[in-house]
Structure 1
Amino acid sequence: MNQAPHAEAFHYRAFISYSHHDKAWAEWLHRGLEAYRVPSRLVGRQTAAGQVPRRLAPVFRDRDELASSADLGGKVNQALQRAANLIVICSPASARSRWVNEEVRTFRRLGRDGRIFCLIVAGEPHAGEPSQECLPAALGEPAPDDERPGASDVEPLAADVRPGKDGKHDARLKLIAGLLDVEYDQLRRRELQRRNRRLTAIAALALLVTLVTGLLAIDATLARRAAERRQKQAEDLIGFMLGDLNDKLAQVQRLDVMEAVDDKAIAYFRALPSTDVTDDALEQRVKALEKIGSVRLDQGRLAPAMRAFQAAMPLARRLAQAAPHDRARQIAYARIQAFAGMAEWYRGRLDAAERFFGAAQATLEHMGAPAHDDPEVLFELSSLDNDIGHVLEARGRLDAAAVHYRRMLARCRTLTGLGSPKAEWLEHLGEAHNNLGKLALMHGDLLSAIREYAADDAIETRLNDAHPDDNDQRENTARVRAILGRTLLLAGAEEQADRALTNALATVEALHRFDPSQSHFKEKVGLYSTQLGRLRRLQGQPAAAGTLLTRAVVVLEGLTRQDPAHTGWRQDLAEARTERATLLQADGHAGAARADAQAAASALASLLGDQPDERGLLLSYARATLQFADLQPETVAGRLRRDVLQRLDDTHGATGDVRLLALRIETLLALGRAADTRPSVQQLWQAGYREPSLVRRLKAARIPYPPNPAFEQRLHSVLGEGAWAEAR
């Protein structure tokens, strides 16, 4: 084995080489290595690999595409040169991967054969069957400086996570021992000692909690006041666990411990009776359970979120009924009902969502008109207008949704007209503009839609500038900017759309790097990668588009595996596959394109069956089906296109939606009915619609579609306003 180079001379402690199919293992290993703290008694010891460090970071993990030649991309090549060790994640997929093999060869050319380690995750080493072989061929090739036939001096240390082998914990330790060049048994003993110390500390804390809670359960003859005081102490302890302790765990990204703490808290609350406790204690339980549920909701874990809300609801109801004029209690009860509605909304259960939202609204309305002057009540009512409007919109009842959206705008204007308005009030004002922009788009008023979205963007930008460290606000700003960018592209403002979408994606990428555990950050990375990938395709940049769309599919596939019931993630994934299918077809990969388009159309058909009037689903389904039709024999394609046309013509609500009209024209052209497109083409022209793909289709069909100078002038005026009235 070659002498180990000192790791201090390199920028990266290790380079992880893996196949795209093993990305989950690569992410697990990357987190595990960088989070590992070397036992203090080993730190500073001199080994053949250099001085033992306190941490193993940084570790390089990336999957840059290779160039068309066999050479690695510049970034990856540079990282290999700057890495002290190479870890190869071994599986049949990696054994077949040209990228993995080339990375191994490149690292070996640097003369570091002795610093290669393997993590076996699937397949068999030295298997007789090629489909089961897990070791990349480059590991068995002759050493770069040895020309003997078949000679190879690479005998890498291998850790094995396959069932019945090392297991994840021991496999990670075995790799760490190799990286540090220390004995595995020695490291394992040190780790066991440290783990025992931790378990002792945890056991002591658990004993303390057990003693505190145990004291509350014994000696029922003690005075009620003393029992209530001890009960409050226990509740305070749980409050600390869910408050300050959770916050500190979040700061160091120990979400695994945070979830364990939250789960223990839920078990604790469920074990306690809801009788014979103070109202203050009940209120604290409601707040704690609401927090647990909202965290789960943000993580995309809908079933656990719903369980937390259901546990809180009877307690909140009891408190609200006991004091019907206590506004704080009514608001708390309404918030729990609204959160439950959101959990049902995310699962696509419109009936259940509407019931919860309606119940929350009734809870607040029951307090009467005077209470509506309270800013907190007014804010909650505006939030429910937003929620109920979304349900009505999904049912195709656009006029009814508009009533709620306009009332939300009026209430938010009242709130922001008060002295020193809260940031969340301003944020809701922006969302009210956003809702009205969406309705304007559905009614074919493209200019009004852009104006409303721009007003929202101005508000979010102002809040973002005032609170640059608020990640939720940064996410809101990115969301609005992406919506504005997509709408600007419909109007042909390609340069402005590019800036908006690029900015939105960069923002959520930074948020995802800051906290990879947050599923909503990850979802936005996938969604905005799809949208920017589409723009890159339209701009004639297929390589950039392919990179973005492949990432989008990978990210969104991971999320849908995490929770298949999350309808939003399933729709996002289908849209990414549709767009990738379009790119693959253009590149001549009909088989892969057909698979993507078929999967997308099938998924969207299922979702549309549950929500037939949801406009976004209809648009996504039509695009996916038309793309799938383009890859079918003409008889099948014609049937699919006629089905799409029928669905578009049967759409409830506004029929002037420019997106629907554009899809209708595309469908008619594909069916050879160019003459039937004239009314829709004229309607789109008057609306100022200039989306590049449709303009090209019309040009190819020799259908006149000149610029609309009057609309372009009005659009220029809107975009030139700079600071919109609501944000001044």
Structure 2
Amino acid sequence: MTQASATPAFRYRAFISYSHQDKSWAAWLHKALEAYVIPRRLVGQTTAVGVTPARFAPVFRDRDELASATDLGHKVNEALAQSECLVVICSPRSAVSHWVNQEVLAFKRLGRSERIFCLIVDGEPGASDQPGREAEECFALALRHQLTANGALGEERTEPIAADVRPGKDGKSNAKLKLIAGMLDVGFDALKRRELQRHIRRVVALATVAVMVMTVTTVLAIAAVIARNAAVAASHAAERRQKQAEDLVDFILGDLNDKLAQVSRLDIMEAVDNQAMNYFQSLPTGDVTEEALAQRIKALEKIGSVRLDQGHLPAAMASYQAALKLAVPLAAAAPANTSRQLACAEVSAFIGMTHWRQGELDAAQQSFVAAQTLLHRAHLLTPDEPQLRFQLATIDNNIGHVLEARGQLDEALVQYRSMLQLMQQLAPTQPGNAEWMSSLGSAYNNIGRLALMRGELAVAVAHYATDDAIESALTARDPKDASQRDSTLTVRAILGRTQALTGDLKNGMERLQQAVDIATQLKPIDPSNTDFQEHAALYATQLARLRRLSGDLRAANALTVQALATFATLTRQAPANIGWRREFAEAQLEQAAQSRAAGRIDASRMQASAALRVLDPLLARQPEDRATLLATAGARLSLAAVDDAPTARPLREDALHAMQTVKNGRGDPRLLALQVDALLALGRTAEAQPLIRQLWNSGYRDAALVQVLQRERIDYPVNAAFQQELLAASGDSQRK
């Protein structure tokens, strides 16, 4: 007899036990289990608990099944005996429920203790063992103890198998899959992977159908308008069809776009949004309602955002400006309508973002301030509207970036602190809101970046680590969200390269490698998503630098070749994107450093010169932008290192002059280290000594600086006090 045939047949796949106060959770779980379709490739497989079925139904929920029963105890025991598994909704309410405890006890007495699964919705496991916290216990007594030989609860403790939907834990989707994986005796990873594959197929199929339906809907809408004009009797039907069309457009521009964004299918999003625009254009001019105008604004904004993510900045700007032209009069006509003010402010902010990427700081700031003015006006009318406050935090972030690029670091810090304060208030009110939590992480990141410019390395690392913890938790909650994974890899890289500045080369390379790996995994998901391409290339460049400084020139060269190829493609595609052009030049500088390390002096000179030709105009355009200043000074010093002495000297002096005339953030250790490099090469050791001391006090220990000082025979020991400060700051970040 096979194992599968020996497994007894049960009437129910599972029995859900819960406290009446947790009935909403029980209803959700009951529906989720019975509606779940098991992946086709797993169906029919033989496991230790039998043959995997196609559906996980029926599931017994006692309050529904027993509502009219007269002999409750008998019916419960009968249902338990006919159930393959027992699922307990665990909370402080169920922990003290007599019925829940008795149901667990009865199921254990059937000899099926290993088939009990728990879903924690509230409380704390093991709290009953902590004095003063007994009321928080979420496991019923029968769950916490094993049975003795005579069927009574014994002293020996047991730890139930549990999924956890509490904030910051598994989340509903993962919790459901954990329970199903356990009950079917299949690996969670295998089930999760197949669920992700199915989700992507479903979204793509849904999008394809939506495009087809949208096309048909456009025809129906035109027919509806004609029918309405034809006869009064037909007008109601025509209006109904138009309303159906508008409802479908709402779905396409809302839920469908959000799902496509999660799997980063920009190509399908573009097709869907274009179909929505075809529908709007099919409407006669006199037939355009305010609802249709609002939908048109949303469609234009969505199209602009797809183009922005694809790197098509002029096309994105055209879409956003068309949307703003419609949004401004709608907002002006209804100043008390919060949703209209939000829509108009959001479009204005996107226009500012597009200007920002093109390096047009004045225009960017003007658009951001216009959005902020709208939001403040609406905030006076509805001060408790959370979405308004979130958008205000986003605008604080955007204006802070512009001020930072202008070198106005103190003013930028005011904006970033305002953003952090708003998000610290908002995020805890909706811990399941991933967008808000990610924005909270960005606020910490912003303040960490300014701390680095002030020479506060420990503070910078702590703030970056806080952001990394937030983004990592969000990715763990929803691993299929490609956009969230991109946010995680970004902060992971930033944290890694900052750790390397403190001398922690090992962790720095490890985190940058993780970032490169994630970005490489994301690129095939949507080849048109330029953010994925940019991040893969940017962090490959930064990792290459650390590989080179650690002596692994071959690995460094392979990473840089890959980065250069990507940036060459991106900058050809969008020459207006100054960020990409600067990053391309940074990759060329890393290649020049590798050529110099390998003794290829002519190649190094050519590569550094090419980088400088790109960077000089960018610095003239944004003289206070820190990244551009550091890259340009680095390019001059790199070229000086391979040029003849008469040419090298003015290059170093020019670099030194540019760095010494910085108005704000002069304590930036990266800036100081480049000045030390230039001064020592110019033979001005006495001038370099105070800067070296300042760098040592800040804890800066980048491998490039250490190598320069060793070459000059300058002592630069590890700063033990800073290492303690760094350790303490890291501990503080973990407690946030």
| Superposition TM-score, scaled by structure 2 size | 0.67
Displacement of 1:466 after TM fit?
1.6
Distance 1:586 1:290, change over 3 A: same
Distance 1:486 1:256, change over 3 A: closer
What's the counterpart of residue 581 of structure 1? 592
Give the partner amino acid of 2:222. Answer: T
What's the counterpart of residue 352 of structure 2? 341
The answer (yes or no) to whether the contact 1:688–1:708 under 8 Å persists in 2 is yes
Aligned to 2:735, which of 719, 725, 728? 725
Displacement of 1:229 after TM fit?
4.9
The answer (yes or no) to whether the contact 2:352–2:366 under 8 Å persists in 1 is yes
Displacement of 1:428 after TM fit?
1.0
What's the counterpart of residue 702 of structure 1? 713
What's the counterpart of residue 418 of structure 1? 429
The answer (yes or no) to whether the contact 1:213–1:234 under 8 Å persists in 2 is no
Aligned to 2:570, which of 559, 583, 591? 559
- The 2-side partners of 1:712 and 1:579 are apart by 29
Aligned to 1:627, which of 609, 630, 638? 638
Check if 1:354 corresponds to 2:365.
Answer: yes
Check if 1:290 corresponds to 2:301.
Answer: yes
The C-alpha deviation readout for 1:658-715, integer Å capped at 9, x for no partner, is 1100011111122222221011111101001110110110111122212211111222
Distance 1:246 1:470, change over 3 A: closer
- The 2-side partners of 1:372 and 1:257 are apart by 38
Distance 1:712 1:297, change over 3 A: same
Check if 1:398 corresponds to 2:409.
Answer: yes
What's the counterpart of residue 222 of structure 2? 213
Helix, strand or coil for the counterpart of 2:717? Answer: coil
The answer (yes or no) to whether the contact 2:262–2:481 under 8 Å persists in 1 is no
Aligned to 1:597, which of 601, 605, 608? 608
Give the partner amino acid of 1:213. Answer: I
Give the partner amino acid of 2:466. Answer: A
Aligned to 2:454, which of 443, 450, 465? 443
What's the counterpart of residue 688 of structure 1? 699
The answer (yes or no) to whether the contact 1:389–1:401 under 8 Å persists in 2 is yes
Displacement of 1:462 after TM fit?
1.7
Give the partner amino acid of 1:364. Answer: L
Give the partner amino acid of 2:225. Answer: L
Displacement of 1:455 after TM fit?
1.2
Check if 1:531 corresponds to 2:542.
Answer: yes
Displacement of 1:294 after TM fit?
1.3
What's the counterpart of residue 559 of structure 2? 548
Distance 1:614 1:247, change over 3 A: closer
Give the partner amino acid of 2:591. Answer: R
The answer (yes or no) to whether the contact 2:336–2:381 under 8 Å persists in 1 is no
Displacement of 1:273 after TM fit?
6.5
The answer (yes or no) to whether the contact 1:232–1:281 under 8 Å persists in 2 is no
Helix, strand or coil for the counterpart of 2:359? Answer: coil
The answer (yes or no) to whether the contact 1:584–1:593 under 8 Å persists in 2 is yes
What's the counterpart of residue 313 of structure 1? 324
- The 2-side partners of 1:219 and 1:647 are apart by 70
Distance 1:317 1:274, change over 3 A: farther
Distance 1:255 1:471, change over 3 A: closer
- The 2-side partners of 1:525 and 1:711 are apart by 32
Check if 1:386 corresponds to 2:397.
Answer: yes
Helix, strand or coil for the counterpart of 1:579? Answer: helix
What's the counterpart of residue 342 of structure 2? 331
What's the counterpart of residue 474 of structure 2? 463
Check if 1:648 corresponds to 2:653.
Answer: no
Equivalences, count = 525
Distance 1:653 1:253, change over 3 A: closer
Helix, strand or coil for the counterpart of 2:714? Answer: coil
The answer (yes or no) to whether the contact 2:437–2:470 under 8 Å persists in 1 is yes
Displacement of 1:266 after TM fit?
3.9
Give the partner amino acid of 1:725. Answer: R
* Greater Cα shift, 413-422 or 500-509: 413-422
The answer (yes or no) to whether the contact 1:228–1:277 under 8 Å persists in 2 is no
Check if 1:618 corresponds to 2:618.
Answer: no
What's the counterpart of residue 304 of structure 1? 315
Aligned to 2:517, which of 506, 526, 537? 506
What's the counterpart of residue 92 of structure 1? none
The answer (yes or no) to whether the contact 2:495–2:511 under 8 Å persists in 1 is yes
Aligned to 2:503, which of 480, 492, 510? 492
Displacement of 1:278 after TM fit?
1.7
Displacement of 1:716 after TM fit?
2.8
Aligned pairs for 1:73-112 within 5 A: none
What's the counterpart of residue 193 of structure 1? none
The answer (yes or no) to whether the contact 2:263–2:483 under 8 Å persists in 1 is no
Give the partner amino acid of 1:476. Answer: S
- The 2-side partners of 1:564 and 1:329 are apart by 34
Give the partner amino acid of 1:536. Answer: R
Give the partner amino acid of 2:446. Answer: N
What's the counterpart of residue 36 of structure 1? none
Distance 1:612 1:257, change over 3 A: same
The C-alpha deviation readout for 1:475-530, integer Å capped at 9, x for no partner, is 11111111011111111011211221111111111111322221100111100100
Helix, strand or coil for the counterpart of 1:352? Answer: helix
Check if 1:515 corresponds to 2:564.
Answer: no
Check if 1:672 corresponds to 2:683.
Answer: yes
- The 2-side partners of 1:586 and 1:634 are apart by 19
Displacement of 1:347 after TM fit?
0.9
Distance 1:225 1:381, change over 3 A: farther
| Superposition TM-score, scaled by structure 1 size | 0.68
What's the counterpart of residue 68 of structure 1? none
What's the counterpart of residue 139 of structure 1? none
Give the partner amino acid of 1:686. Answer: N
Unaligned runs of 5+ in 1: 1-201
- The 2-side partners of 1:281 and 1:610 are apart by 42
